[in-house]
Amino acid sequence: MSDAAAPILSVRALSRRFGGLQALGGVDLEVARGEFRAIIGPNGAGKSTFFNTITGLIRPDGGRVAFAGRDVTCMAPDDLVRAGMGRTFQITSVFADLSALENVQVALLAQARQSWRIWPRAGAMNAERAAELLALVGLAGSAARHAGTLAHGDQKRLELAIALAGEPTLLLLDEPTAGMAAQERIESISLVHRVALQLGVSCVFTEHDMAVVFAVATRITVLHQGLVLAEGTPAEVRANPQVQQVYLGESVIAEGVGT
């Protein structure tokens, strides 16, 4: 079962094919507890597919996934979430018809195993904790707003609050800053970073903006055509000639140096 010494996430030879396309060609990856791991790679590298196979959204063709020492390969998403693996989606995914507060309440109710209670009024249940989580991600003023009417960046933050409500030990964030303005991105990832440190949550995130990556990542894995091209500390990855080759705009990588 759960083993305190085991890495929070350990992936072996994970593969997945879509028709003729090998989206994941046998990926090994190990994430230690407390890490803030970035997964980078060009469009179509397989980053989202990697997240989706780990979190049970799509089945891997082969390979194993261990979460905190426990084999969770092919486990159903809801079981994985209850086991402590939270995630967000590249295309923001919230409950558009519900208020921001209700969005978080739904997640808290599920976390507290109360989703099946049919008699009490849900309105006030966990409302305080939900408000706290909204405040934590900077949405205190938007609790009553319908999630669908929030600005894109705020929806991303709301989705983070939803994921955090599940009290995850591992958080998988697929492009947490996509669609935001440059300045907003750094603020957002710093927020995630702060919260993760505060709550002791390990984190794996994918990201295209190198400034964002270098601002917070403790280690970086580079995916390319479904394979791990390189892995190491930010300095190691930056110095890697293969990585520079994949990222034809080398300056993108170099730019990150300053921040």
Sheet containing 227-232: give its strands across.
85-88, 170-174, 202-206, 36-40, 219-224, 227-232
Largest CA distance in the chain: 62
CB of residue 221 vs another protein: minimum separation in angstroms?
A: 23
Burial class (CB in 10 A: 0-12, 13-18, 19+), 33: middle
What are 22's strand-pairing partners? Answer: 17
CB of residue 47 vs Mg ion: minimum separation in angstroms?
A: 5
- The answer to whether the Cα torsion of 36, 63, 175, 84 is positive or negative is negative
* Of residues 17 and 82, the one with the C-beta less far from ligand ATP: 17
Is residue 90 a contact residue for Mg ion (CB under 5 A)? yes
CB of residue 106 vs ligand ATP: minimum separation in angstroms?
A: 26
Q: Which stretch binds Mg ion (CB under 5 A): 18-26, 85-93, 127-135, 161-169?
A: 85-93
CA distance 41 to 61: 22
Per-residue binding letters, 25-64, with Mg ion (x by CB under 5 A): ----------------------xx----------------
CB of residue 95 vs another protein: minimum separation in angstroms?
A: 4
* Of residues 109 and 256, the one with the C-beta less far from ligand ATP: 256
CB of residue 143 vs another protein: minimum separation in angstroms?
A: 15
* Of residues 35 and 174, the one with the C-beta less far from Mg ion: 174
Interface positions with ligand ATP (CB under 6 A) = 18, 21, 23, 41, 43-49, 90
Per-residue binding letters, 113-132, with Mg ion (x by CB under 5 A): --------------------
